[in-house]
Amino acid sequence: MAQSSLLGYPRIGRKRELKRAVERYWSGKNSEQDVVNTASEIRKAAWGIQNKHGIDQIPVNDFSYYDHVLDTICLMGIVPERYNFNSSKVDIDTYFAMARGAAGKSNDADCSCGNPASHSSVSALELTKWFDTNYHYLVPEFDAGTPKLASDKPFVEFDEAKKELGKAPKPVLVGPVTLILLGKSHTKPLAEHLADLLPIYAEILSKLKDAGAEWVQIDEPTLVEDRTDEERSLYQQAYAGLASQSNRPKIMLQTYFESLNGNWDTAVGLPVEGLGLDFVRNDENREALKKNGFPQDKVLGAGVVNGRNVWRSNLNDKLTLLEEIAQTVDKDRMWVQPSSSLLHLPHDLDLEEKLDQDVKNILAFAQERLEEIRVLTKGLNEGRNAVKAELDANQKIFDQAMKSTRIYNAQAQERVASVTEADFSRNSPFRERIARQQAVLKLPEYPTTTIGSFPQTKEVRSMRAKWKKGSISDQEYWNFMRERTKEVIKQQEDIGLDVLAHGEFERTDMVEFFAEKLEGMAVTEHAWVQSYGSRCVRPPIVYGDVYRPEPMTVDMIAFAQQQTDKPMKGMLTGPVTILNWSFEREDIPPYQTANQIALALLDEVTDLQKAGIRVIQVDEPALREGLPLRSRKREEYLDWSVRSFRLATSTGVDDETQIHTHMCYAEFNEIIAAIEALDADVISVENSRSHAELLQAFTDHKYERHIGPGVYDVHSAQVPNTEDMVEMLQRSSKVLPEEQIWVNPDCGLKTRGNEEVWPSLKNMVDAAKEIRARQPVGAD
Ligand code: GLN
Ligand code: ZN
């Protein structure tokens, strides 16, 4: 009999109870016990619902107060010196200090910069993206002393679940090799770090065995990335070591997010009792299995339903896949499971009351996946007839969806199909365009601007909350927003910025704002997914063909332009970012959706142009993070993402209209050709934290277009001084011609306070004035 299994369940709570509990704890309004109690209730609910759906292998230790990699850091006792940790177990305050810094700022919760650790004045562990998801983990530091077991979390949760369920759950651990490869500040060869960790892992396995664990799931998702031979040998070292330990549970080595590909032989050859594979991301594992077979002595964890995307599974197709796998692997040695932890899915669909029924029908969140796993396991074990009713009902939903005009829009499809090569290029080359733009805009050297948003004060937030609740009228709300916009324009004029922004007060989130207005995209009420710590995001869902029923930003931007003679930037979110920060369709390739979004944006760009807007910024902060995990797949991704940006900014866009884009990072070396290929007239980028890196990219690669390397870090509360910014500009001018350089902060100002923003911008404008007045660099 095949078993059903889960890799992990959402842990923030159905209504984000954990978020509230820990945030109250941080602000001193909750006791540690309150947090412990909330956490325990969340775990109980998760185990209860899995049990109810008959899941055989229920995970434990998948829960976390903040992050499961941080939990593993504590488990291994690798706490960096700066946290002054010197007891036997990591306490909750040390734990949160590592997560947030000892004096974290409180208004960082909405920042979309992806680098929230930098908001704190005391240094937290670095936060970075978990593979290609929107989840972020804390980076282990391997110069933090000798590992020792310094947490009893897995044992406590194991006992708790065992008591609750009346059977042994399956503890989940981040594997030793993945922990090392995701870490930094290594002080010796990785094999030696691994040798330090293995005794701790062995101790944990032995304790779990004593507590009654039959299986343990050890996650090694780094096995799905490109690995060197040396790295591959780490897995052999690790699992030969752990396997030789006699007192231990059986090991399910779990991979996810991609196929094993070149690491197939390594993974399959490891002396463990089970191997978990992702059969959703692509067909590569499926084909490898057919070609290579599978060891007779191992259990195969067959990840057949999507742990990362929200579409209901077609159960007929999934069952076919399972039956095919069962031709290679005996059913008794199969686990039916999701492709990854369900951490990356919203909790459950029942909470969504406003979603269109056509859309709701085709969705499955974490809770709905449980039923899919139940049906599939039963179908595999007992035959299709045993689940006939479920299969038929499921098929009917898919048949109906095919007919939905909300999902399939003939016009949008025709439009995207009729795009020709010419639609991806502007009328004239950059050199000619920039001369025409300059004739219209008449900007000084080193023009100054901002990235777009200005502080979203308490007042702005509370007005929006009132409006959403219906306690103020549309008119009151928009009057208020216009007043704020007017004010911020006046302030920008007063300090002497050259290209102004309207402030984005009417936008909560740069993707949600557009998703609300585009057809084919839906926003949810409660579909929260953990991004990092207590921060959750509610990604919109692209459920069908995307098009723009009416202008989205033109009224506001035109109003803003009327307030000033200076150029006002139209402000849009780019197609790749809208797509990457949403749940995407599975029935068409992502490039098609990107192009549909691009065409909707193109209409907006040309409407803005018609309304007299001469500078239009199309933000693409998520371009880089969409890079596939496997390097050989990157070129294709960059190709279609660049094309979708160009599609949004070319046809009908006059040479005189200046297209800007913005990205919140400076790691450009790998993608600089793609950045250039965007053909944006001006790009503003993060730079203040990674100045050297950025400049290196431009030293190695001659860049022709205009660029604003951020002159100060918006994530720091400090007001930057003029001299530092002048110096930064001078350094930039050594690798870039002066006429290409713009002066701007490195990201939006939304999460900052007005008290810092205005003095900072004033100093920035002064820096531009000063450098304009100086002799060109290199002249004596
Ligand atoms: N225009 C956006 C802002 O200023 C850009 C946000 C971002 O880079 N993530 O807020
Ligand atoms: Zn940014």
Percent of the chain topping pLDDT 70: 96
Name 675's Cβ contacts closer than 8 Å, sequence gap at least 6.
663, 668, 683
d(CA 152, CA 524): 37
pLDDT at residue 117 is higher than 70: no
Q: What pLDDT score does 689 carry?
A: 65
Q: Where are the beta strands (DSSP E) in 82-167?
A: 127-129, 136-138
Q: What pLDDT score does 104 carry?
A: 42
CA of 726 from ligand 2 middle (Å) equals 21
Q: Among 198-207, 367-376, 387-396, 693-702, which stretch is predicted with the lowest mean pLDDT?
A: 693-702
Q: How far is CA 593 from CA 110, 266, 308, 691, in A?
A: 27, 37, 18, 35
Q: What pLDDT score does 669 carry?
A: 80
Q: What pLDDT score does 243 carry?
A: 97
CA end-to-end span of the chain, whole Å? 83
More confident position, 484 or 113: 484
Q: What pLDDT score does 121 carry?
A: 54
Name 545's Cβ contacts closer than 8 Å, sequence gap at least 6.
407, 408, 409, 412, 413, 519, 520, 596
Map residue 507 onto helix, strand or coil. Answer: coil
Per residue, the 3-state secondary structure of 575-644, as one string, reads: HHHHHHCCECCCCCCHHHHHHHHHHHHHHHHHHHHHCCCCEEEEECCCCHHHCCCCHHHHHHHHHHHHHH
Q: Among 466-470, 687-691, 756-760, which stretch is predicted with the lowest mean pLDDT?
A: 687-691
For range 123-127, the mean pLDDT? 91
Q: Among 412-421, 508-517, 613-622, 663-672, which stretch is predicted with the lowest mean pLDDT?
A: 663-672
Q: How many of the other CB atoms lie within 10 Å of CB of 351?
A: 17
pLDDT at residue 115 is higher than 70: no
CA of 743 from ligand 1 middle (Å) equals 16
Average pLDDT, rounded, for the chain: 94
Residues β-bridged to residue 218: 173, 253
Q: Whose atoms come closest to the Cα of 750: which ligand?
A: 1
Residue with the smallest CA separation from ligand 1 atom 10 is: 748
CA of 667 from ligand 1 middle (Å) equals 18
Please report, as a single letter, which amino acid is at residue 338.
Answer: P
Strand 136-138 vs strand 127-129: parallel, antiparallel, or unpaired?
Answer: antiparallel
d(CA 194, CA 78): 13
Q: How many of the other CB atoms lie within 10 Å of CB of 58?
A: 24
Atom of ligand 1 nearest to the CA of 507: 10
Contact 95, 74 (CB under 8 A): yes
Q: Which residues line ligand 1 (CB under 6 A)?
A: 112-113, 451-453, 504, 510, 571, 619, 621, 662, 664, 747-748, 750
For range 44-73, the mean pLDDT? 98
Burial class (CB in 10 A: 0-12, 13-18, 19+), 421: exposed
Atom of ligand 1 nearest to the CA of 747: 8
DSSP assignment letter at 365: -
Residue with the smallest CA separation from ligand 1 atom 4 is: 748
Residue corresponding to tokens 């060109």: 776
In a mutational test of the pocket of ligand 1, which residue from 502, 504, 506, 625 has the highest number of ligand atoms less than 8 Å from its CB? 504
Q: How many of the other CB atoms lie within 10 Å of CB of 654?
A: 16
Residue with the smallest CA separation from ligand 1 atom 3 is: 748
- Give the pLDDT confidence of 454-464 residue by residue, as tens digits: 999 999 999 99
Name 243's Cβ contacts closer than 8 Å, sequence gap at least 6.
251, 270, 271, 272
d(CA 558, CA 551): 12
Query: Vertex 599, ends 593 and 605: CA angle to 5°?
Result: 135
Strand 529-532 vs strand 535-537: parallel, antiparallel, or unpaired?
Answer: antiparallel
Q: Whose atoms come closest to the Cα of 510: which ligand?
A: 1
d(CA 441, CA 271): 67
- Give the pLDDT confidence of 127-164 residue by residue, as tens digits: 999 999 999 999 999 999 899 999 999 999 999 999 99
DSSP assignment letter at 565: S
Q: What pLDDT score does 688 carry?
A: 65
Tell me the H-state helices in 119-269. 153-165, 176-182, 190-211, 229-243, 264-268
Burial class (CB in 10 A: 0-12, 13-18, 19+), 314: middle
Long-range contacts of 20-24 (CB under 8 A, 24+ apart): 22/65, 22/66, 22/96, 22/533, 22/534, 23/534
For range 155-181, the mean pLDDT? 98
Which strands sit side by side in the sheet containing 59-60, from one edge to the other? 3-4, 334-338, 299-305, 274-278, 250-254, 215-219, 170-174, 59-60
- Give the pLDDT confidence of 655-670 residue by residue, as tens digits: 999 999 999 877 788 8
Phi/psi at 460 (5° precision): -60, -45
d(CA 653, CA 643): 15
Give the model's confidence band at 106: pLDDT under 50 very low, under 70 low, under 90 confident, else very high. very low
CA of 20 from ligand 1 middle (Å) equals 26
> Measuring CA to CA, which residue among 146, 149, 125 is closest to residue 66?
125
Q: What share of the chain is helix, strand, coil (3-state, %, to 5)?
A: 50, 15, 40
Atom of ligand 1 nearest to the CA of 748: 4
Q: Whose atoms come closest to the Cα of 571: which ligand?
A: 1
CA of 745 from ligand 2 middle (Å) equals 9
Residue with the smallest CA separation from ligand 1 atom 5 is: 748
CA of 132 from ligand 2 middle (Å) equals 19
d(CA 738, CA 729): 9
CA 106, 111, 117, 119 dihedral sign is negative
Q: What pLDDT score does 504 carry?
A: 98
d(CA 661, CA 358): 36
- Give the pLDDT confidence of 477-496 residue by residue, as tens digits: 999 999 999 999 999 999 99
Residue with the smallest CA separation from ligand 1 atom 1 is: 452
d(CA 71, CA 219): 14
Atom of ligand 1 nearest to the CA of 750: 10
- Give the pLDDT confidence of 555-597 residue by residue, as tens digits: 999 999 999 999 999 999 999 999 999 999 999 999 999 999 9
Residues β-bridged to residue 174: 219
d(CA 780, CA 769): 20
Atom of ligand 1 nearest to the CA of 664: 8
Q: What pLDDT score does 780 carry?
A: 43
Q: Among 277-281, 405-409, 494-498, 525-529, which stretch is predicted with the lowest mean pLDDT?
A: 405-409
Q: What pLDDT score does 290 carry?
A: 97
Name residues with Cβ closer than 5 Å to ligand 2, which is an ion. Answer: 621, 664, 747
pTM of the model: 0.94
d(CA 333, CA 337): 13
d(CA 567, CA 443): 9
CA of 478 from ligand 2 middle (Å) equals 26
Q: How far is CA 514 from CA 143, 331, 578, in A?
A: 44, 47, 8
In a mutational test of the pocket of ligand 1, which residue from 662, 664, 685 has the highest number of ligand atoms less than 8 Å from its CB? 662
Atom of ligand 1 nearest to the CA of 617: 1
Q: Which residues are catalytic?
A: 715
> Measuring CA to CA, which residue among 215, 182, 163 is closest to residue 337?
215
Q: Whose atoms come closest to the Cα of 452: which ligand?
A: 1
Name 194's Cβ contacts closer than 8 Å, sequence gap at least 6.
176, 177, 180, 234, 237, 238
Percent of the chain topping pLDDT 90: 90
Q: What pLDDT score does 547 carry?
A: 98
> Measuring CA to CA, which residue among 546, 460, 575 is closest to residue 506?
460
- Give the pLDDT confidence of 284-340 residue by residue, as tens digits: 999 999 999 999 999 999 999 999 999 999 999 999 999 999 999 999 999 999 999
Residues β-bridged to residue 274: 252, 299
- Give the pLDDT confidence of 84-100 residue by residue, as tens digits: 999 999 999 999 999 99
- Give the pLDDT confidence of 182-209 residue by residue, as tens digits: 999 999 999 999 999 999 999 999 999 9
Q: What pLDDT score does 107 carry?
A: 41
Q: What pLDDT score does 108 carry?
A: 45
Residues β-bridged to residue 519: 547
For range 40-52, the mean pLDDT? 98
Q: What pLDDT score does 109 carry?
A: 44
